[in-house]
Structure 1
């Protein structure tokens, strides 16, 4: 502690108390905020009156029903499948449809546990200490629910898709805490066993054999909690005209390749990010060390571009009738009940006498730990003014239909600039010079870099 540091003496505390009560507005604000949610107290009535869920460019069909990830961190899976089902529903003339989120969740849990165990071997082989920053980071949360776009591509290409009715939700899909707690304990136990083997001079073959034994236990826990997907399925359904249809028996990979891929090919989509930190220039490619979910799968790659480009590509995609997956920090300047994401939705200065959440620049919020991507959703509409300037987006969330306009939000362009970090669009909309960035050798960011945060 610096020599000039001052303790909070009784005199200083009295001075703070007197300054508080000198302003009667503080007392009024205190009376309100001690009885209701402070964010609700800060809601701007005037803004709510002006916010409208109406847009002049909208995809022709939106998915039904509104999905609900419940008490899980699977937003990245839900957002992907919400985007994918729209062209699939159009292609197959469906009134309502959901792909199974639980199916991909099963495979992600299994693959990610295997990925973690191999990361523990990799770190130990590299001489990383168990109490060093890297291994501590890996052990902190060995199998969280969250993910990134490249991770979902790994799962779909390797394991395919199934309709939700054929692999429905389980208790541990909708409330993941208990299962995750079991898995984390076993993974840490198994991680220690692998490090002990390496310290004793075990060969790579011995380690792989041990991981297979460990994965037998992991598979048992996951299978008991989530159920185990069938190798093949038969899907019977009625279309909008009440005609009977039947697909199968078919494997999930064959289902994706034959019936989904023609309308939505995950390999045709590219993920662009916007990281304004001076250390990470635009027009460069980045990756995060030890970040992934599938051994042998594609790496998580970030093509860093200005936020204006991301916004324009989202608008262009929607105008061409294609929804957009995006990742953002969802908790800031967000009126959840009303479904409004706008910098003006709350008047913090009126209530607290100071503004909050945007006092730092976007770059500084990343540097000082006040901002990162936390959630993934889908854009389905956009509004522009008479000059073509983007004003707002319509957002399909995965929190059920009780928030916003039956599950949909309105998100302003200003909010996009501050809190959106990545978008996924078809590569046909992306300029050639931006696509060329994907050919670069990526700069590797450390495992704990905020751009490696997973959407949940």
Structure 2
């Protein structure tokens, strides 16, 4: 046995002796084995800094719950939109259907996937690109730009017009069977191409496949309404909206939001993505004719500045982050000072990489989307603590709300969506005119919340 490449008996004896020699290691072992890492690393001083109270705050309706699905990006998007309905009509609460965009997203992602399969027919099946496309063709996650595409094409509906189903509350089985079908469809298209079938005939095959995808989705989620009756009463029980609407008419009338004015700002400090430039991700999207995503990469301070400006105008802010990092889930606190994992173990674990290195080495990326609805400022007007609306129900955190420290924002917030009027003139010009750099499909900025 090579002593330098294998774990030897001497190595184990030395590690045991080193661990047992320090009383703090025994205390840490007892605490962690009984309570878990986060509970043992919890710092009460850090937790105390997350007390509620904000200088700028918008008031939302009752909490929503995505249940056992990965629809956070949809819930976050719809929460920014329902806020407009609540405000416009003076409602106590209101909720838009989350099953409605789920149906269309799965349908559009299926078409997006099959079009990518047709576009890569001559790529090797075991190559990185096709393997990547086959990995998760219609997962629940998404980006703001993808939701904008859905809304522009299909509109929105109230929750009563397309309520939740067993398959929208828990998407696991539906996703598994649809993914299996699509992989089989990809196999048929590739094998037909190898047998000499022309592209026009392959596209006819794809049309038939999409009809079967629709059938599967309608079975799981019901068919989306083409129109629906609507009656809205305000807090004083006064009828404020009545009629029959198509989904696009309802969006135009009730939500009345220029979704094309909203842009995605990211903050990725890696060497391959200089700040102040635009980026897109190859083969990332859902609605084929609306293309893909577009980002402007800026330092965290610029994301905060734009978010605060939008909050000051009494509008919530969609954002994406790596939610599991330095997170006390039960208490609803995202704060790098609320946990001290490195002190618990006695060496750098969380502190062994900076933000860029975490992205480069696969340790961090955007995993969850939520809504910023408030911020606390210090005496100089700088942000200290952010109020966050999550989509995990009212029993999560503090009545469904989380808090996010400003230091955590710097480390783990990767994206905010704001009206482009809150950008500087230079930022807006860059976003609108610069040809974006195309990132690889597997780039961390292509992750789906």
TM-score by length of structure 2 reads 0.97
Of 80, 84, 89 in structure 1, the residue corresponding to residue 86 of structure 2 is 89
Q: Could you say which residue in structure 1 is the equivalent of 2:209?
A: 214
Q: Could you say which residue in structure 2 is the equivalent of 1:51?
A: 50
Q: Could you say which residue in structure 2 is the equivalent of 1:159?
A: 154
Structure 2: where are the runs of 5+ without partners?
Answer: none
Residues 156, 89 of structure 1: alpha-carbon distance in 2 compared, 3 angstrom cutoff: same
Matches within 5 A, 1:432-451: 432-438=425-431, 439-451=433-445
Contact 1:338 1:404 in 2 (8 A): yes
Q: Give the aligned CA root-mean-square deviation in angstroms.
A: 1.4
Q: Could you say which residue in structure 2 is the equivalent of 1:103?
A: 100
Q: Could you say which residue in structure 1 is the equivalent of 2:62?
A: 65
CA distance in 2, matches of 1:404, 1:194: 47
CA distance in 1, matches of 2:3, 2:300: 43
Contact 1:234 1:246 in 2 (8 A): no
Q: Could you say which residue in structure 1 is the equivalent of 2:27?
A: 28
Structure 1: where are the runs of 5+ without partners?
Answer: none
Residues 12, 105 of structure 1: alpha-carbon distance in 2 compared, 3 angstrom cutoff: same
Q: Could you say which residue in structure 2 is the equivalent of 1:79?
A: 76
Q: Could you say which residue in structure 2 is the equivalent of 1:183?
A: 178
**SS of structure 2 residue aligned to 1:91:** helix
Q: For 1:68-120, what per-residue CA distance to the aligned partner results, in whole angstroms no more than 9, with x for missing partners?
A: 11111100000011111112111112111011111011110111111101111
Q: For 1:279-305, what per-residue CA distance to the aligned partner results, in whole angstroms no more than 9, with x for missing partners?
A: 111111111111101111132111111
Contact 2:156 2:248 in 1 (8 A): yes
Q: Could you say which residue in structure 2 is the equivalent of 1:18?
A: 17
Q: Could you say which residue in structure 1 is the equivalent of 2:382?
A: 389
The answer to whether the aligner puts 1:242 opposite 2:237 as a matched pair is yes
- Displacement, 1:245? 4.7
Runs of 4+ in structure 1 deviating by more than 4 angstroms, as ranges, are none
TM-score by length of structure 1 reads 0.95
Matches within 5 A, 1:271-420: 271-420=264-413
Residues 122, 4 of structure 1: alpha-carbon distance in 2 compared, 3 angstrom cutoff: farther
**SS of structure 1 residue aligned to 2:415:** strand
Contact 1:282 1:306 in 2 (8 A): yes
The answer to whether the aligner puts 1:120 opposite 2:117 as a matched pair is yes
**SS of structure 1 residue aligned to 2:185:** helix
- Displacement, 1:315? 1.1
Q: For 1:381-403, what per-residue CA distance to the aligned partner results, in whole angstroms no more than 9, with x for missing partners?
A: 11111111111111000011222
Count of residue pairs brought into register by the alignment: 447
The answer to whether the aligner puts 1:224 opposite 2:223 as a matched pair is no
- Displacement, 1:201? 2.7
